[in-house]
Chain A
Amino acid sequence: DQQVKQNSPSLSVQEGRISILNCDYTNSMFDYFLWYKKYPAEGPTFLISISSIKDKNEDGRFTVFLNKSAKHLSLHIVPSQPGDSAVYFCAAGGSYIPTFGRGTSLIVHP
């Protein structure tokens, strides 16, 4: 049973537009959420995080929104750039052991 779900396996966006990647979770005990970015043949790289006491965290072009009542978080990338093309993993948990989603492959077209 998947506790962290990324229902869109892929997303295609035009350069300069907004990319919105979504993630749903089922475990109400999760209190820490992260997004990782992964290029082919490389390991995941931490991108941005948010704790359950916040509903928004922003870092440059990347913003993560958390809706605890809906058990939903999203990653916004504005403006999207071709270099953002990668697989994005959502992860969640309440300890040092995160539960990962299956990832969303983002393609940003020039």
Chain B
Amino acid sequence: NAGVMQNPRHLVRRRGQEARLRCSPMKGHSHVYWYRQLPEEGLKFMVYLQKENIIDESGMPKERFSAEFPKEGPSILRIQQVVRGDSAAYFCASSLTGTGGWNEQFFGPGTRLTVL
């Protein structure tokens, strides 16, 4: 029973390039959450998605960042024109339902993005 999968685990981009981070939720989970952890910081919520819908993107920067969770395939977090400040660990979590406590969220191993 595979857990939450994220790829790539490490991603290096030069300033101005695009970064695409993928998240495959646990089997049967239709709720996906993206978090970002900057160096020496805690995890910060970015966006909550269900299949084909963005439920809450209150933590997402207004520019350059977008997320989707299509009917088929993984959830994608896309960062356009990356800057050095985007360097961070990006974690995805999934849950079976969206209304429960957070103990229902299962985290993936994260993608570490480095912007040169």
Contacts and interface: CB of A to CB of B under 8 A. Distances in A.
Interface of A: 4, 6, 32, 34, 41-46, 49, 89, 91, 93, 96-103
Nearest to A89: B42
Interface of B: 4, 9, 35, 40-45, 48, 56, 58-59, 91, 93, 98-103, 105-110
Contact of A46 (B44, B103, B109): B103
Nearest to A39: B109
A46 B35 CA distance: 15
A103 B37 CA distance: 11
A14 B103 CA distance: 29
Contact of B109 (A43, A91, A99): A43
A43 B107 contact: yes
Contact of B56 (A6, A43, A97): A97
A103 B38 CA distance: 12
7 contacts: A41-B109, A46-B103, A49-B103, A89-B42, A96-B48, A98-B45, A102-B41
A96 B42 contact: no
Given A32-B101, A34-B103, A49-B101, A43 B42 contact: no
A4 B109 CA distance: 23
Contacts of A93: 102
Contact of B99 (A44, A96, A100): A96
Contact of A44 (B48, B91, B101): B91
Contact of B107 (A4, A6, A45, A101): A45
A98 B105 CA distance: 11
Contacts of B45: 97-99
Nearest to B101: A32
